[in-house]
Amino acid sequence: MNYNAGFFDVIIVGGGHAGCEAALACARIGLKTVLFAINLDSIAMMPCNPNIGGTSKGHLVREIDALGGEMAKNIDKTFIQSRMLNTGKGPAVYSLRAQADKFEYAKQMKKTLENTNNLYIKQGEVVQILVEKNKVCGVILESGAIYNSKAVVICTGTYLKSRCLFGQTIIQSGPNGFKSSNKLGDSLNKLGIKMFRFKTGTPARIDKRSIDFSKMQIQYGDKKIVPFSFETSFLEREQIPCYLTYTNAQTCEIIKQNLSKSPMYSGIIEGTGTRYCPSIEDKVVRFSDKLRHQVFIEPEGENTNEMYAAGLSTSLPEDVQIKMYQTVTGLEKCEFMRTGYAIEYDCIDATQLKLSLEFKNIAGLFSAGQFNGSSGYEEAAAQGIIAGINAAMYVQKKSPLIIDRSEGYIGVLIDDMVTKGSNEPYRMLTSRAEYRLLLRQDNADLRLTPKGFEVGLIKSERYEKFLDKQEKIRREIERVSKVFIKADEKTNKILCEHNSHEISNGLYLSELIKRPQMNYEILEAIDNARPNLDKQVREQVNIQIKYEGYINRQINQVEKFKRLENKKLPLDLDYKNVKGLSIEAAEHLNKIKPENVGQALRIAGVSHADISVLLIFLKHQS
């Protein structure tokens, strides 16, 4: 029997990484917010690899932090190993990655949620979204409780009609054995929301005592730890090592002999899996010429014997999994603590969303995370903070926060999903960002902190520190460009020591910094007037001077991009009535309903000729 249980400004459905960021954003902005999770023990859970960051994902975490989110701060509290990846390349692709203590990570995030003003945490399964006149007005729980609200954010992750599979074994549950959500999907279908069936997977967890680490290559963390959060000034702790080993021909042979027993290859699994995080079965089939594959053995926490076998994700039968794992060097006597499995679940076609992550046809209903068809904790959290911010803006009757492709990886992520859609779980990659030299992880605060301040997530004290940092960078770049270095013995000695050719005439310090072998730090010895600046400021000075030409080139590209992004399109426009558009373009444009001409250009099936037609149309309308 239904009963009225109360009113909230915003309701968050789900307590995963998207739900946590969405809930915190709404509450910190000042709205009365409630987060519902099927089981409170699943809040901020890491059912797959317990790490945060990595290639391109580290950029997302830094951007979440710059906007005022929590993920970066939480991993800084709970990491057990930290490494900066891709340091052999340019700063555009540097990416921070940290192995987390999965239990501490969830514990600390839940603690943060529980102690945030305006935020209420409740255990309960949402089974229905209430909508009146195409406007969301609340939810109904399995218990019959009706909660009314002005906005709802759906962050159900991989729980909708989820089932876990290995071999012929099918378990109707969410990840890690938690209850699945089997009724909410029907409610969404009745609202006309288009759903997909996607799949992801995870490897077995191995008892540390059964592993022979002496046969593996030890992987240490960085000696100098770089924090994720711009607010974390210093980190130091004893790090826990990870280990590298490899599969071999025997491993591949066992997999090939048992492919028919894998639910993916036997036809039991209906959903589409991610190509960028394939199971070991997929690797053996797709890369049949490779004789071995990397396997990283990583701890799940500081006080557990469970070890994660990254690279051995599988849904083969349990007995085959054990046999296959025991062919891997160092795992000959391994004991399973948890069996690997594939998980299949319902998610939406994200082209039904606006760039604000609000549903186009249901006002006040927002969506974030794996429910939108993405993969990964970082992608989920990035969408979560944007959906939360925009739910708050909607309630306050303010304009939504839209981060475009030139402003952040978050913008690339959301634009890709909303504009192009995805027929497989979406994963963020540096190659997806056209302006990645501008969208570095090191300058995420310079790009996005003002936006976080504007919406109310960055407090005045932090913003003042940010403005001070920005000014120090500006002043130091200006000073360095005016420092003239003489061609003396001391200068040429330093240049020779770093394999850079000597100078016979004086140069400005900025010109020396731009040399491939030189940088701002090396040249400190000949810079007598250098002020005492912190590491973040020095880093920005070096990068902005060293890559000035490339940065300016991308800035010019962005200016052209912005001209199209600033040309807004009516959301109620019927493109079939726009004369000169191709039939294909009109169909695709009517499906996506782009918010501007730039977004229209990125839709498959829309040509530059069609864009010219749209520009003429807009000119006549003005």
Residue 276 clears pLDDT 80, i.e. is over it:
no
Based on its alpha-carbon atoms, the radius of gyration of the chain, rounded to whole angstroms, reads 26
Q: Residue 593 CA to chain centroid, in angstroms?
A: 25
Between CA 230 and CA 513 the distance in angstroms is 25
Helix extents (H) in 30-183: 57-67, 71-78, 102-114
pTM of this structure? 0.96
| Structure confidence at residue 362 (pLDDT) | 98
| Structure confidence at residue 88 (pLDDT) | 86
| Structure confidence at residue 90 (pLDDT) | 87
Burial status of residue 557 (CB atoms within 10 A of its CB: 0-12, 13-18, 19 or more): middle
Question: Are 275 and 313 within 8 A, CB to CB?
Answer: no
| Residue 482 in tokens | 């005016």
| Structure confidence at residue 561 (pLDDT) | 94
Terminal Cα-to-Cα distance of the chain (whole angstroms): 55
pLDDT band at residue 265 under the 50/70/90 scheme? confident
Parallel, antiparallel, or unpaired for β 195-202 and 294-299? unpaired
Residue 552 clears pLDDT 80, i.e. is over it:
yes
Backbone torsions φ then ψ of 313, nearest 5 degrees: -60, 135
Question: Are 350 and 297 within 8 A, CB to CB?
Answer: no
pLDDT band at residue 268 under the 50/70/90 scheme? confident
| Structure confidence at residue 477 (pLDDT) | 97
Parallel, antiparallel, or unpaired for β 33-37 and 3-13? parallel
pLDDT band at residue 592 under the 50/70/90 scheme? very high
Share of the chain above pLDDT 70, in %: 100
Between CA 453 and CA 264 the distance in angstroms is 47
Across residues 64-69, what is the average pLDDT? 98
| Structure confidence at residue 422 (pLDDT) | 86
| Residue 431 in tokens | 């190659």
| Residue 513 in tokens | 């910094």
Share of the chain above pLDDT 90, in %: 92
Q: How many residues does the chain have?
A: 622
Query: Which tops the pLDDT comparison, 544 or 571?
Result: 544
Helix extents (H) in 152-248: 184-190
- The dihedral over CA atoms of 297, 299, 305, 306, expressed in degrees to the nearest 10, equals -70
Residue 74 clears pLDDT 90, i.e. is over it:
yes
Q: Tell me: the pLDDT tens digits for 561-583?
A: 999 999 999 989 999 999 999 99
Across the beta sheet with 51-53, what order do the strands follow?
51-53, 95-100, 79-85
Between CA 466 and CA 478 the distance in angstroms is 19
Residue 622 clears pLDDT 90, i.e. is over it:
no
HEC string of 290-316 equals CCCCEEEEEECCCCCCEEEEECCCCCC
Between CA 159 and CA 139 the distance in angstroms is 17
Across residues 457-475, what is the average pLDDT? 98
Mean pLDDT over all residues of the chain?
95
With b meaning 16 or more CB within 10 Å and e meaning fewer, what string describes 534-543? Answer: eebbbbbbbb
Residues 6+ apart with CB under 8 A from 257: none
Parallel, antiparallel, or unpaired for β 51-53 and 95-100? antiparallel
Between CA 138 and CA 47 the distance in angstroms is 29
Residues 6+ apart with CB under 8 A from 514: 545, 546, 548
pLDDT band at residue 140 under the 50/70/90 scheme? very high
Question: Are 33 and 26 within 8 A, CB to CB?
Answer: yes
3-state DSSP assignment of residue 158: coil
| Structure confidence at residue 82 (pLDDT) | 97
Q: Tell me: the pLDDT tens digits for 89-127?
A: 889 899 999 999 999 999 999 999 999 999 999 999 999
Across residues 547-569, what is the average pLDDT? 95
| Structure confidence at residue 537 (pLDDT) | 97
Q: Tell me: the pLDDT tens digits for 509-522?
A: 999 999 999 999 99
Q: Tell me: the pLDDT tens digits for 384-421?
A: 999 999 999 999 999 999 999 999 999 999 999 999 99
HEC string of 544-580 equals HHHCHHHHHHHHHHHHHHHHHHCCECCCCCCHHHCCC
| Structure confidence at residue 278 (pLDDT) | 86
Question: Are 212 and 243 within 8 A, CB to CB?
Answer: no
pLDDT band at residue 555 under the 50/70/90 scheme? very high
Residue 535 clears pLDDT 80, i.e. is over it:
yes
Question: Are 146 and 5 within 8 A, CB to CB?
Answer: yes
pLDDT band at residue 273 under the 50/70/90 scheme? confident
Q: In DSSP terms, which residues pair with 141 in a beta bridge? A: 126
| Structure confidence at residue 269 (pLDDT) | 81
Secondary-structure breakdown of the chain: helix, strand, coil percentages, each rounded to the nearest 5? 40, 20, 40
Question: Are 128 and 139 within 8 A, CB to CB?
Answer: yes
Across residues 341-366, what is the average pLDDT? 97
Across residues 300-318, what is the average pLDDT? 96
| Structure confidence at residue 570 (pLDDT) | 92
DSSP letters for 361-416: SSBTEEE-GGGGTB-SHHHHHHHHHHHHHHHHHHHTT-PPP---TTT-HHHHHHHI
Amino acid at residue number 212: D
Residue 274 clears pLDDT 80, i.e. is over it:
no
Residue 234 clears pLDDT 90, i.e. is over it:
no
Across residues 34-48, what is the average pLDDT? 97
CA distances, 9 to each of 34, 40, 221 (Å): 8, 21, 44
Between CA 9 and CA 31 the distance in angstroms is 6
Query: Which tops the pLDDT comparison, 266 or 169?
Result: 169
